[in-house]
Amino acid sequence: MLGLYDTGSFEINEAYREIRTNISLNTDIKTIVFTSAEMDEGKTTTVCSIAKCFSDLENHKILLIDCDFMKKSVARTLKIDNIKGIADATIDDIYIEECIKKVDGFDVLTCGMSPSNSSVLLESKKFRDIIEKLKDKYDYIFIDSPPLGRLNDAAILARYSDGTIIVNASEYIDQQMAKVTRDKLEKVNANVIGVVLNKFKSDDHKYYKYYGYYEEERKKKSFFKRRKRRKRR
């Protein structure tokens, strides 16, 4: 599995920069939800690394929000405390500015307290108002959400986010769970802008991370099919 961005590894850092470039190509994308089909696919490592990678861009304000209330992995990954987070701001009416933490070039909103029902919190007007307020302050907002095979929270967040990215672990993801993930996102008309293939080793045994837009993949497949037909003729 790939490690965090900016670890000194050229391959790792270059892979995250490629993801950053692909996201930046779409100027309408500002809030992005990261999800997966199952746990332990590298979703939190990926979103934390992308937030750090984007923070390298000059004059860009980046916010990372942890909405995976069961695992609360962002705080552990970044080695920061989880005191006062997005749940506290939503439930206890704490000023959002009191909950934001500064981490190595970007801002973080951890989970904070554990809500009794995360889906109710995410669908609340107060939560959505907070997100809208934050959009005015940041160039990009990245949201870590639970796997869709476990909870429906990512589908809720995807409804009012600009884009969704799925993190899949190579040779680990169950095909049926991948289909469930896709179907849940399609039902809420989520704008799935790409997939990150994680835990993948190329033929030269170097770790590699791939990011591609669905539309680009469709065009590639169509191109190779046409080329095969020509060869047969």
pLDDT score of 180: 85
Question: Which residues does the chain have with pLDDT short of 70?
Answer: 1-3, 8, 172-173, 199-233
DSSP 146-214: --TTT-SHHHHHHHTSSEEEEEEETTTS-HHHHHHHHHHHHHTT--EEEEEEEEEE-TTS-EEEEEE-H
Give the residue among 66, 91, 68 at the shortest CA–CA distance from 80: 66
pLDDT score of 201: 62
pLDDT score of 220: 42
Burial of 56 (0-12, 13-18, 19+ CB in 10 A): middle
Its pTM stands at 0.85
pLDDT score of 232: 53
Two tokens at 71? 């695992």
pLDDT score of 134: 96
Q: Which residues, 6+ apart, have CB-to-CB distance to 106 below 8 Å?
A: 51, 52, 54, 55, 61, 62, 63, 64
Q: Each residue of 132-188: pLDDT tens digit?
A: 999 999 999 999 999 998 899 999 999 999 999 999 887 766 778 888 888 999 999
